[in-house]
Amino acid sequence: MAKTLNTNHIAFLGDYVPRRCGIATFTADICEAIAAEFPEAECIVGSVNDRAEGYEYPARVRFEIAEKELDSYRRAAEFLNINNVEVVSVQHEFGIYGGAAGSHLLAFLREVRMPVVTTLHTVLREPNDDQRAVMQQLDTLSDRFIVMAERGRDFLETIYHIAPEKIDLIPHGVIDMPFIDSNFYKDLFQVEGKTVLLTFGLLSPNKGIENVIEAMPAILEQHPNVVYIVLGATHPNLLAAEGEAYRLKLERIASERGVSDQVIFYNRFVALEELKEFIGAADIYITPYLNEAQITSGTLAYTFGAGKALISTPYWHAQELLAEERGILVPFRNSKAIADGVNHFLSNPTLMTAMRKRAWKAGREMIWPVVARRYMESFERARASLSVPSIETAAARQIEHANYPIPSLKLDHLFKMSDHTGIFQHAIYNVPNYHEAYCTDDNARAFIFTVLMQEMGRSQPELDRLASTYLAFLWYAFDANTCRFRNFMSHERKWLELHGSEDSHARALWAVGTALGRSQNEGHCNLCGLLFQRGLSPVGRFSSPRAWAFAIIAIHEYLRTFSGDRVVSQMRDVLTNMLADLFRANSTPDWQWFERIATYDNAKLSHAMILSGQWTSQAEILDIGLSSLRWLLDAQTAEAGHFSPIGCHGFWARGGERARFDQQPLEAHAMVSACLEAFAVTRDDFWRKAARRCFDWFLGRNDLGRPLYDPTTGGCRDALLRDHLNQNQGAESSLAFYLSFAELIRVEGAEIAVLQPCAA
């Protein structure tokens, strides 16, 4: 079953299949495991090439790095930066990256702007100077480390002095195979009735396979039905340097010992499904490696998880996996001990089965879905370590004391996002996204902005033209038969629904009500009057509290000009009482809110009550508005003093933990607008300062200390995430900034320039 998560864009860096090496296989396995366990996550891969022509990679590989080319690492980092990747999982082995001890990787790590989780496939007990220097830099540039064995964690702490809280111990993943009789698969390899010993992996002299072949005569003397399968192609680097010399040596040893018929070589690199069949056919798996300093073995992990009887030399990973009677350890380079181990297993089937079961049961915590979930937990810890804890640091205090002057307003992005139909909903970075086209919500916001700019005498001919375009969109969105506004329109100007949401309908009313209350354009007002009168009546049947609030704000804008309209005033009273009843039903002394969960556009509810309480002279209604807004402001103020809105990734349910991210510009605008209304009603300077503090969120006075408003484009970035900004500059986000700007300078009386668009 899929799990919920906060990390949605993950990059993996390392070798990748079809390159033939253990790192390539592991990178593919962990990437695919996470993609399967978390289908909503987008997983991409950066693969390191050891040859100029590269490989025929699957679609998952989005960029390639030339191993020896330093600039290639920097380009890869920039690729991740511009693609909004949220965390990068680096597979580290000194030999797979260019430079001294793989130091080219450091250039990549210095450039990426997202958390780095580094999986260490080798942890050396006695590093040379270059290797130690690289490890020191990895510690500086990595947010977390993953090791696959306890000894690896111990080495990181005692040899490299890496903080224990930075290290996650996650075992090598394994295939989820049932505990079954090996005879089920043996006919596939013509070894029916035989006892099968197996070693697999890329062949090289450090594997010690000759020691198993040397042991075969002593094994066959007691158990003549034994065969030894050696599965795997020669390691590509060895093949390039020496050809098949090592394999030929092994074949010669088998011939000299008279066991050629019992030693079967499969000289190929097999895919996962076929590998499962080989493992399934094995009775005993042997890793006769020659070097103690091996912190992990994927082949041993796979057969351990499959519940095979295991014999291994005591390299570090084997010592841990085969402890507690889960296998037999034999000395290095000792063929007699290997023979004794095999004969001991085959002469004691009860013991062999018990060890198999212990290994298989322990392996249930190593299957890829479990490992994928633990990797995702590590990714989330890496992201969390870069965001929330850092908010209360000296850097945060520096953010609080920085100066945030109101910038000049640049409208280039508004014009780029608008065509003769309306404003596009979304952007890819600062480029309009035609695919998702238009919506009534954003055209309503855009029309409100043009009205405010006209009212303040800050309009311009091109902005006036756009005002007509946005209003024309609203008119076209209105369905006279249902008296409802449709919301979503394709780029081909086809409506994608019968009618829109209650919220989008009420936002359209807010737009036309604003024009009726503030615009001097007679034609616009006449058309808005038609839309307002026809579109108001359905609101009384709505169930959305936010739609009630938008409609109340729309009504008060309308009543600025038509205060004697009794029907509209009655609708205001109905909607206000509905909101008041909601507040009375759900609020408590420590939860001063209208609902059991605070979600989006929250301050609009308080804003609507402040307006109604003031205009109808109802003290209770005004108090509900002010007290709920004060509670909401307190809840969204960080300890350091800056505005930190409720995140949309989980919101905030009563009694639960408030979602810190993803923070939306919509929330900042709602708070700016509501606080300014509270200031207008009370003349308490507290509210004016609060509005300015919320506005400063756009400028960098926020949890990350990074501005969302982009003065070079005039757009606003879409969200503040845990550790970076969503770099897209959509209409909703940009209009949230524009509307906040217009409302704030109207109150503060600031003489801020509104820059002409470049196109003008």
- CATH number of the domain residue 84 falls in: 3.40.50.2000
How sure is the predictor about 753, in pLDDT bands with cuts at 50, 70 and 90? Answer: low
Is the pLDDT assigned to residue 363 strictly greater than 80?
Answer: yes
If asked whether residues 40 and 75 sit together in one domain, one would say yes
Q: Rounded to whole angstroms, how far apart are CA atoms 551 and 557? A: 10
If asked whether residues 201 and 273 sit together in one domain, one would say yes
Percent of the chain with pLDDT over 70: 96
If asked whether residues 250 and 376 sit together in one domain, one would say no
How sure is the predictor about 439, in pLDDT bands with cuts at 50, 70 and 90? Answer: very high
At 198, is the secondary structure helix, strand, or coil?
A: strand
Tell me which residue of 387, 389, 411, 402 sits closest to 696, measured CA to CA.
402
If asked whether residues 649 and 540 sit together in one domain, one would say no
Amino acid at residue number 577: N
Q: Taking a C-beta distance cutoff of 8 angstroms, is the pair 703, 387 a contact?
A: yes
**Considering its fold, how many domains does the chain have in total?**
4
If asked whether residues 167 and 62 sit together in one domain, one would say yes
If asked whether residues 234 and 132 sit together in one domain, one would say no
Residue range 52-77, pLDDT digits in tens: 899 999 999 999 999 999 999 999 99
How sure is the predictor about 399, in pLDDT bands with cuts at 50, 70 and 90? Answer: low
At 38, is the secondary structure helix, strand, or coil?
A: coil
Q: Rounded to whole angstroms, how far apart are CA atoms 702 and 664? A: 12
Q: Buried b / exposed e across 160-176, counting CB within 10 Å, b at 16+? A: bebeeebbbebbbbbbe
Identify whether 753 is part of a domain: yes
Identify whether 411 is part of a domain: yes
The more confidently predicted of residues 725 and 120 is 120
Tell me which residue of 362, 108, 389, 338 sits closest to 208, measured CA to CA.
338
If asked whether residues 742 and 606 sit together in one domain, one would say yes
Helical pair 461-477 and 440-455, crossing angle rounded to 10 deg: 140
Residue range 144-191, pLDDT digits in tens: 999 999 999 999 999 999 999 999 999 999 999 889 888 999 999 999
Identify whether 392 is part of a domain: no
How sure is the predictor about 396, in pLDDT bands with cuts at 50, 70 and 90? Answer: low
Start-to-end C-alpha separation, the chain: 54
If asked whether residues 208 and 161 sit together in one domain, one would say no
Identify whether 580 is part of a domain: no
How sure is the predictor about 750, in pLDDT bands with cuts at 50, 70 and 90? Answer: low
Identify whether 332 is part of a domain: yes
If asked whether residues 623 and 700 sit together in one domain, one would say yes
Identify whether 47 is part of a domain: yes
Whether the predicted model's global pTM rises above the 0.75 cut: no
Is the pLDDT assigned to residue 28 strictly greater than 50?
Answer: yes
All residues at 6 or more sequence positions from 57 whose CB lies less than 8 Å from its CB, including other chains: 16, 17, 18, 45, 47, 64
Residue range 484-528, pLDDT digits in tens: 999 999 999 999 988 899 999 999 999 999 999 999 999 999 999
Please tell me the predicted confidence (pLDDT) of residue 271. 84
Q: Taking a C-beta distance cutoff of 8 angstroms, is the pair 707, 725 a contact?
A: no
- Residue 729 CB coordination number (10 Å): 27
Segments forming the whole domain that contains residue 742:
403-416+587-760
Please tell me the predicted confidence (pLDDT) of residue 388. 46
Q: Mean pLDDT of all residues in the chain?
A: 93
CATH code for the domain of 693: 1.50.10.20
Identify whether 423 is part of a domain: no
Handedness of CA 351, 353, 359, 362 (dihedral sign): negative
Q: Taking a C-beta distance cutoff of 8 angstroms, is the pair 687, 610 a contact?
A: no
Tell me which residue of 345, 339, 340 sits closest to 214, measured CA to CA.
339
Q: What is the mean pLDDT of residues 221-237?
A: 94
Residue range 638-656, pLDDT digits in tens: 988 999 999 998 899 999 9
Q: What is the mean pLDDT of residues 704-728?
A: 92
At 247, is the secondary structure helix, strand, or coil?
A: helix
Q: How many CA atoms lie within 13 A of 527 on its CB side?
A: 18
